[in-house]
Amino acid sequence: MMSYEEFTQKEAALESAPQAEREAFYAEILEKETTKTDVRMMAYFHAALLHYREGDFRAAREILEPFVIDYQSYAYRPEIIACFNLMGVAVYCERSYALARFYIHEGLKIARKTTRSAAIPTSTITSL
């Protein structure tokens, strides 16, 4: 199992590598990391981003779909919102405007929910 720090280091090292090598790296993580970790989530995001930047919006969407369906099983990280935004932009580029609004709205809801819960003092939460 790869740590988040190891992932970011390897990902940075592969930044200028050929696309096929980066795709293989993300695919390997998604295959081997079966638990719902930060590393798995970031592999979804970066693999989809890679295809998005190449203009392959359908591939980006297909990569992110399993994650956005099951995102609540993952620990919260701000990158979850980035996944929803990327999904929204990818479907927007495919001219699915209503679906794009849905994904971007879901990302906003997650952001608002997390911001609100972060603003509530711990003593208030424990007294509820």
State the virtual CA torsion across 16, 17, 18, 22 in degrees, nearest 10: -110
- pLDDT tens string 63-104: 999 999 999 999 888 899 999 999 999 999 999 999 999 999
The domain of 55 spans 4-127
Q: How many domains does the chain have?
A: 1
Distance CA 109, CA 76 (A): 13
Dihedral sign for Cα 86, 92, 94, 99, please.
positive
For residue 116, what pLDDT band results from cuts at 50, 70 and 90?
low
- pLDDT tens string 10-44: 999 998 999 999 999 999 999 998 899 999 999 99
pLDDT score of 25: 96
Distance CA 39, CA 127 (A): 34
3-state secondary structure of 36: coil
pTM of the model: 0.83
**In the 8-state DSSP scheme, what is residue 86?**
H
For residue 46, what pLDDT band results from cuts at 50, 70 and 90?
very high
CATH of the domain at 50: 1.25.40
pLDDT at residue 117 tops 90: no
> How far, in Å, are 1, 69, 83, 107 from residue 34 at the CA level?
9, 16, 19, 24
Region 114-123 average pLDDT: 55
3-state secondary structure of 76: coil
